[in-house]
Structure 1
Amino acid sequence: MVSERPAGTFTRQLSLGEALDTEHIEAAYDAGVLKLHIPVAEQAKPRKIEIKGGKKELQS
């Protein structure tokens, strides 16, 4: 089996949105493969919020 990859300079631009932590992006290049790790920003992560109820019950 033969696998060929084109040689030269390549450019790729991606639009990923605004909810990413751009200060902690990591990139690794190995055997012709570029891997990116782009974490989600803390403020964009889902979180649980406790909802406290009153003592009255609703009547239907």
Structure 2
Amino acid sequence: FRNKKKKIPLISGDEVDMDLNQMDPECPILWIRIDPDLKVIRELQFEQADYNWQCELRYERD
């Protein structure tokens, strides 16, 4: 298989090199971030693949 490294721009303006080999080719979303400022008072539950959680933990700054 080929190496899938790509420069990805983050919302902070930074660009990072991401290894996309483990990413599901059918899902173009890296991770989901809902209400980061905690302005909505409600319980939310959503599922995402382990790879998506890892991307969020590694690249999200706050």
Normalising by structure 2, report the TM-score. Answer: 0.23
Which one has a bigger Cα radius of gyration? 1
Q: Larger helix proportion, structure 1 or 2?
A: 2
Normalising by structure 1, report the TM-score. Answer: 0.23
